[in-house]
Amino acid sequence: MHQNGPHAGVKNATYRAAHDFFAKREDQGIKLPSAKTKTARKKTDDTNNISFDDLPRLDGESEGNVPVYDTCDDIRTKINAHLRKTSATQAAFCRELNQCLGDGPTKNITSSQLTAFLRKKGPLAGNTSKAFYAAYVYFEKLRLKQGKDKSVKRKEMEVQWAEEGGADTKHVAENMRFTCGPGERPWMNKYGQMEFS
């Protein structure tokens, strides 16, 4: 139906049949249905009402040194849930994340960087991404503001990464090298730490 203009398609059988159909309905007194208007869905998520200035400041935030106690997969889950709940665009969410990067000379997170992070899979896949660090800081501030307790996995992460002071955000996890003994195989556990079996 690539017809444009007031008279295009006049000789088409579909046009004539549709004209006859609607003329018959008009003669019978049947009115055309009115166009339905979409009603805005009421948002129940209270994160829409929270201003970034209302969120608490974390230790080490201004220097960009907040210890991270979530895996990349956990942060991806939180980001996807947040974007679904708030109907925020990735660009708008990136603007919120940029405020979490600290006071140093850091570049802004773009939606393409966020998309690249969201496409990865694995406990430490994307651990050096600024989107990972900033999203962790954002959701931690949000958790504190809402007065929510730490999850069981979060408490386990604190125990697992206590010695290192949080998950590694400086070294690319996919490029790490390990020396294995005969018959040993390296594998990454659910906390993002390497183990040998």
Q: Per-residue pLDDT tens for 3-12?
A: 777 777 778 8
**Mean pLDDT for the stretch of residues 73-91:** 92
23-61 in b/e form (b: 16+ CB < 10 A) is eeeeeeeeeeeeeeeeeeeeeeeeeeeeeeeebeebeeb
Bridging pattern class, strands 194-196 and 186-188? antiparallel
d(CA 75, CA 167): 12
Mean of the pLDDT values across residues 58-81?
89
pLDDT confidence of residue 108 = 86
What is d(CA 189, CA 194) in angstroms, rounded to the nearest whole number?
Answer: 6
Is the pLDDT confidence value at 30 over 80? yes
Q: Who contacts 106 (Cβ-Cβ below 8 Å, separation ≥6)?
A: 64, 130
Q: What does the pLDDT average to over 138-142?
A: 92
Question: Residue 106 has what pLDDT?
Answer: 67
pLDDT tens digits for 97-118? 988 887 666 678 999 999 999 9
pLDDT higher than 90, residue 174: no
Of 52-61, 141-150, 161-170, least confident by mean pLDDT is 52-61
First to last CA, the chain: 64
Q: Counting every residue, how long is the chain?
A: 197
Domain ranges of the chain: 57-196
Q: How confident is the model at residue 79 (pLDDT cuts 50, 70, 90)?
A: very high
Say what the pLDDT of residue 48 is.
55
What DSSP designation does 53 have?
Answer: G
Q: Which residues pair with 186 in a beta bridge?
A: 196
81 pLDDT higher than 90: yes
Average pLDDT, the chain: 83
61: CB partners within 8 A, 6+ apart: 100, 102, 137
Q: How far apart are CA 99 and CA 62, in angstroms?
A: 10
